[in-house]
Amino acid sequence: MFKIEDYIRDIQDFPRTGIVYKDITPLLENPVATRKTLDAFLSFLEGEKIEKVVGIESRGFFFATLLAQELNAGFIPVRKPGKLPYQTYKESYSLEYGKDTLEIHCDAIKKGEKVLVHDDVLATGGTAAAACKLVEKLGGEIVQCNFLMDLDFLKGREKISFFKVVSLVTY
């Protein structure tokens, strides 16, 4: 039986001491595992019309682009400041030790478009909440927020609880 977590390896003390990094490289290296993971995401979207898929920098891009292709939807990157070449909207959010900011092109989503927001990990929820605020600022309607993994002990779902949230693996 296929288990996604069999393709996610733990890297101790990365990027700093005390952190256990969830490395999805083994999953991405295996085309069968990647396909099964993509199919699992798609199963939660049956009957939904998605017009844009927002992928959050950077590991969120991997499955977001595949989902956009499968759903015949546009792919929209949400990135750190200074990475997008056109006019952007910005949304800042709090981190455990400071602040960060995300940007989206100001013409990426039209009012009323149905949007899927995707990232690899739901941790504290700050990044996901900021991405959702950007989508809503542009007038998009968030259908679902997708995550490969949910680090449940960090309670990130609480920050995006008003949206449908799907996670394939919970730690």
Active-site position among 35, 48, 51, 96: 96
Active-site position among 5, 29, 35, 59: 59
The one-letter code for the residue type at 89 is Y
| Cβ density class 62-91: b for 16+ within 10 Å, e for less | bbbebbbebbebebbbbbeeeebeeebeeb
Q: Is 9 a catalytic residue?
A: no
Give which of 140, 145, 82 is closest to 107, Cα–Cα: 140
If you ran DSSP here, which 8-state letter would residue 146 be given?
E
Q: Is the dihedral of CA 150, 3, 114, 78 positive or negative?
A: positive
Q: Is 48 a catalytic residue?
A: no
**Residues marked as catalytic:** 59, 96
